[in-house]
Amino acid sequence: MARRRLAVIGAGAIGRMHVERARMHAQVEVVAIADPSPAAEQFARAEGVRGFADYATMLDAVRPDGAIVATPNATHVEVGLACIARGVPALIEKPVSDSVAAAAELGRAAREAGVPLLVGHHRRHNPILRRAREIVQSGRLGKPVAANALATFYKPDAYFEVEWRRRAGGGPVLINLIHDIDIMRFLLGEIVEVQAQASNRVRGFDVEDTAAVLLRFDSGALGTLAVSDCAASPWNWDLAAGEASHYPRQQVNTHFLIGTDASLTLPQLDLWEYRSGKGWHDPLTVERCTPHGADPYHEQLRHFAAVIAGDEAPLCSADDAARTLAATLAVHRAAATRTGVVPADVAA
């Protein structure tokens, strides 16, 4: 089967990562890159593909099979709508938008035009999470009662030399914790209430550096999350899951799913359950449910090729991603108001 011809819009770090993954992929190839920066033009030339300063011009000239949108968050909807208008399926980086209303507009436009959109919550493509979801949906945990996740890491001072990272929307809740909220939704279902506290005590920027979050799921299960970008800590998915070689891998767990019959750790997939008897005086046994290995970004590109072909439905649609965004923005609102927030109200 011929490789799907992709255009990449945005040649920052994430856009370049997609180009590098596609270079080694059997099912897709990058044929053009759009970004107004001179560095992007040089990058396109080095990759041997056509470079454009304007994405609309590129879409019209190249007519790709699909487009990867890796532009700043506030432009995702504008660029996504341009792809839809041309009938080009798009893989849009997370968050799908900086506003739930705009994300809903994007989802509505995609449905009406019949053009598939995939949102890049790439962790959903990790075999670890796919296996964890199978275990949860099999009922082996019993009734989920609680979940816990840590996203605690230390970002170096140089990271904050970019001004927007010190301003509203640039903190670890929207940049990092959104991944963990999406994991919780993917594994445990919809979040119906959010409570939170946030602090900027360590770094002193306008934006938070630390937050603690309480979630209620529609199943009745409760979840707790902690995020901090000023913590000397191994307890975060990037270090624990080994998805990217530029992070030193740590053999720790960061996510814990707790049920009435069994409990599961991630990313190591240790399943704890009783074999005989069921009480705190009875011994628990542990089984490691190791999945096959795969690069989630590589698997996401395989899935996108299948979405373009019409063989698979998007694993994370614009509407699905909008619900993750609503729950994440609810963290900010809950921390500001010191009250419980319903994510659906953020979307209203």
Q: Which superfamily, per CATH, for 124-293+326-345?
A: Dihydrodipicolinate Reductase; domain 2 (3.30.360.10)
- Reference 200, options 235, 165, 232, 224; nearest CA is 165
- Mean residue pLDDT of the chain comes to 96
Average pLDDT over residues 81-108: 96
What pTM was computed for the model?
0.94
The tokens for 18 are 């997609």
Average pLDDT over residues 36-44: 93
29 touches 53 (CB < 8 A):
no
Grade residue 32 by pLDDT with cuts at 50, 70 and 90: very high
Whether 76 contacts 68, CB under 8 Å: no
Say which CATH architecture domain 4-115 belongs to: 3-Layer(aba) Sandwich (3.40)
Place of tokens 């299948």: 306
Decide if 237 contacts 161 (C-beta within 8 A): no
Residue 15 has a pLDDT of 96
- Return the half-sphere exposure (C-beta side, CA atoms, 13 A cut-off) of residue 129: 24
Measured CA angle at 304 (ends 298, 310), to 5 deg: 145
Where do you find CATH 3.30.360.10 in the chain? 124-293+326-345
Give residue 224's identity as a one-letter amino acid code.
Answer: T
What confidence score (pLDDT) does residue 348 get?
63
Contacting residues for 106 by C-beta, under 8 A, at least 6 apart: 76, 77, 80, 81, 84, 92, 96, 97, 117, 318
Contacts of 141 (CB under 8 A, 6+ apart): 135, 257, 258, 259, 260, 261, 262, 263, 264
Q: Say how far apart CA 258 and CA 261 lie, in whole Å.
A: 8
Asked whether the predicted pLDDT for residue 206 surpasses 70, the reply is: yes
Numbered ranges of CATH 3.40.50.720 in the chain? 4-115
Helices (DSSP H) in the chain: which residue ranges?
A: 13-23, 38-47, 55-62, 76-85, 100-113, 127-138, 172, 178-188, 237-241, 296-309, 318-337, 343-347
Residue 136 has pLDDT above 70, yes or no: yes
**Which residue is associated with the tokens 């998805």?**
243
Q: What is the pLDDT of residues 273-295, one digit of tens each?
A: 998 899 999 999 999 998 877 89
Whether residue 116 has a cis bond before it, omega within 30° of 0: no
Distance separating alpha carbons of residues 303 and 123, to the nearest angstrom? 13
What are the C-alpha distances in Å from 265 to residues 165, 261, 262, 269?
A: 31, 14, 10, 5
